[in-house]
A and B are shown apart, each in its own frame.
Chain A
């Protein structure tokens, strides 16, 4: 495709106005959409081919204004200023036009080529709002295309306009918004001064002048480097004095007020409410959900319901899958004459990888539950309800959103902390996210609760584990805030969006993406880990033990015992020899080194090995147990780990509880550690954090184990 047919566009707009929805509708991607502010924290690119053009679309994090606030907003501003695309599409939330237009007035100042996509037109119509688009176009001096990313309307019109703007077929009038006269004088004065500084030629001088008057730090730093700053500083001081004298105010406030006044005027002229304003469904739902008495219980109920759903609905499917793997093992067993191969396939792959795959339904259900929270609009409410508690622990109600995301996976959750402005708040939130039990730890809990607890309490035990994670996380935050990370807490100013029905396709695709990722992980990382574990648990082989086995079998055969007695004896012998072989292997030896450290927690060396391998990914704990236990047992085809563990004498309810607590709290997986390092910037805090979490895990497991031994 030749270069003139390539167009680069960027979607910019307020948080939650539907940029990502529009991005997905245009490019066919499935980036994450959610009904709260700050879903997108990184820029994403996609493209589409339309009428012979290749249009690259860049989806950006939402911003309320061009003076950024939190790290993810800085991404957008930097992008728009430093590498402006051919066309900027300013996405507006139609039903919430007044607030959204503030950013538009700032884009007008940049004098870039931009278009407005007036999104959520379906909601606009539903609410009986009429927007006079022609008139609004006149006022803003740019083209406005009504769209609905939900109903997929207006997309072609939008693309046609994009092409015409990019080809300069339509000239944009580039209207200016004029401030009150005394401000305009200051702006002009500073603009004139800026024009003298060659180095600043890349910027629009009027925009720079306005930003300086608005106290924009980044622009200050840029301009301060040059000699002209001395004169500008005087002009700024004068403007400040004037604003003080005339209005008892500041230029920054006056500018924002003038922008809002302009918008007010535009709204009066162009927007009408045709039907009477009624109380909406959102009003009614919030009356209950945010009720002073019911709010908190409902919040707990919602979270509890997700875990109940994950477990109860997941169990029968899980059992079905287990049956499938059992059948598979017993079918292939006779077909594999070679003993080593048989062991690799049955003890290694089926027990290890299959052992993890059976939890796929639970994982998918968990993610469906979470995406329902995100897509419905409840997330912001949860932050509202729980902010007080979070504040007590030195955190922010908004920290709560990454925490909930952390129940799915720590990695996006750690990235989601970019919506927090204060760096210390971000660090603290990042440090507690791994305590929010992630989806990968779920298989461990489901396995152990299903094996050792009756079905009616299993989900509650699991809920308890999650709760413990939250409590440890909050206390960690408090300790950090009180000691090394003292700071004023971040302000809490958050919009509560109207409730929206999650679209089936977005929930479905999110679940599908998660399922595919899980399958991929099972097929790559977990399979690899399983094969290594199989090898290190089988080698080196002790031939002395083989000989012993042969000799003793012969003795049993020759003894005069009855058939059943002989069978029982051989079985016991087989078990003993197999477990001695296992102890002789590399895995056994490593485990034995670890054993003294973890013995007080009720763990034997097999669990020790599983915990080490679990650092690769938490599901590997289950695979490792699956492989090690199935190598160590005598009946080859019973690959159901649940029943193997239940019958293992070294495993009890107390061990199970202690192990769950340990897995919940100890060092996060390597992928999460990597992202932590990336977001935090250096290794030291991450290493300290790992030591801390390991210690907490040890201490709490110890306590839980001892109490459980006494009580159960």
Chain B
């Protein structure tokens, strides 16, 4: 599942960052790497970008970037 498909309020864990090049670098530098747990906080008034929270910080990213981040929702994590 992709980050961009999550609903507001959902919690999930990063599985892999499949974006390429500089975008991936930036996302990973922010601390969004395999295993990072986060929550989707809100979507901007016009539908894009989305805001997520993890490790005590709030990050905004466009759906386009969120598309490159693969996640497992928390309910699936506990099921495993």
In addition to A64-B30, A69-B25, 13 A-B residue pairs with Cβ atoms within 8 Å of each other are A69-B22, A98-B55, A294-B45, A385-B44, A387-B48, A397-B49, A421-B22, A492-B49, A493-B30, A493-B60, A494-B60, A495-B58, A495-B59
Q: Pick the contact of B42 from A290, A380, A491 — CB < 8 Å? A: A290
Pairwise interchain contact B31-A384, C-beta atoms closer than 8 A: no
User: B30 — which chain A residues lie within 8 A by C-beta?
Assistant: 64, 99, 493, 495
Q: Judge whether B61 is part of the interface by a CB distance below 8 angstroms.
A: yes
Q: Pick the contact of A493 from B42, B46, B55, B59 — CB < 8 Å? A: B59
Query: How many Å lie between the Cα of A304 and that of B48 in the bound state?
Result: 24
A interface, over-half SS: helix
What are the interface flags for B26-48 relative to A under an 8 Å C-beta threshold, 1 for contact and 0 otherwise?
A: 11111101110000001111111
User: B61 — which chain A residues lie within 8 A by C-beta?
Assistant: 491-494
With A102-B29, A256-B28, A260-B33 given, is the CB distance from A384 to B49 under 8 Å?
yes
What are the interface flags for A680-703 relative to B under an 8 Å C-beta threshold, 1 for contact and 0 otherwise?
A: 000000000000000000000000
Give the top 4 A-B pairs by smallest Cβ distance, nearest first: A388-B46, A295-B45, A64-B29, A496-B58
What are the interface flags for A162-199 relative to B under an 8 Å C-beta threshold, 1 for contact and 0 otherwise?
A: 00000000000000000000000000000000000000
Pairwise interchain contact A493-B65, C-beta atoms closer than 8 A: yes
User: B47 — which chain A residues lie within 8 A by C-beta?
Assistant: 388
Pairwise interchain contact B45-A385, C-beta atoms closer than 8 A: yes
User: A296 — which chain B residues lie within 8 A by C-beta?
Assistant: 45-46
Q: Which residue of A lies closest to B21 (CB)?
A: A215
Interface centre among B27, B51, B60 (most CB of A within 10 A): B60
| Chain B nearest CB, measured from A214 CB (Å) | 9
| Chain B nearest CB, measured from A433 CB (Å) | 23
Q: Which residue of B lies closest to A263 (CB)?
A: B31
User: A252 — which chain B residues lie within 8 A by C-beta?
Assistant: 25
Q: Judge whether A517 is part of the interface by a CB distance below 8 angstroms.
A: no
Q: Which residue of B lies closest to A250 (CB)?
A: B24
Pairwise interchain contact A260-B65, C-beta atoms closer than 8 A: no
Interface residues of chain A, those whose CB is within 8 Å of chain B, are 64-65, 67, 69, 95-96, 98-99, 102, 252-253, 256-257, 260, 286, 290-296, 380, 383-385, 387-389, 391, 397, 421, 491-497
User: A292 — which chain B residues lie within 8 A by C-beta?
Assistant: 42-43, 45
Pairwise interchain contact B29-A65, C-beta atoms closer than 8 A: yes
B interface, over-half SS: mixed
Pairwise interchain contact B62-A387, C-beta atoms closer than 8 A: yes
User: B57 — which chain A residues lie within 8 A by C-beta?
Assistant: 96, 99, 495
Query: How many Å lie between the Cα of A99 and that of B45 in the bound state?
Result: 27
Q: Judge whether B17 is part of the interface by a CB distance below 8 angstroms.
A: yes
With A296-B46, A384-B44 given, is the CB distance from A492 to B60 under 8 Å?
yes
Query: How many Å lie between the Cα of A539 and that of B71 in the bound state?
Result: 77
Pairwise interchain contact B28-A253, C-beta atoms closer than 8 A: yes
Pairwise interchain contact A98-B56, C-beta atoms closer than 8 A: yes
Pairwise interchain contact A293-B45, C-beta atoms closer than 8 A: yes
Chain B contacts with A in 55-80, Cβ cutoff 8 A: 55-62, 64-65
Pairwise interchain contact B49-A387, C-beta atoms closer than 8 A: yes
Query: How many Å lie between the Cα of A493 and that of B35 in the bound state?
Result: 19
* 15 A-B residue pairings within 8 Å (CB atoms): A64-B29, A95-B56, A98-B31, A102-B29, A383-B60, A385-B45, A387-B46, A387-B49, A491-B22, A491-B26, A491-B61, A494-B60, A494-B61, A496-B59, A496-B60
Query: How many Å lie between the Cα of A290 and that of B44 in the bound state?
Result: 7
| Chain B nearest CB, measured from A391 CB (Å) | 7
Q: Judge whether B1 is part of the interface by a CB distance below 8 angstroms.
A: no
Pairwise interchain contact B45-A96, C-beta atoms closer than 8 A: no
Pairwise interchain contact A496-B51, C-beta atoms closer than 8 A: yes
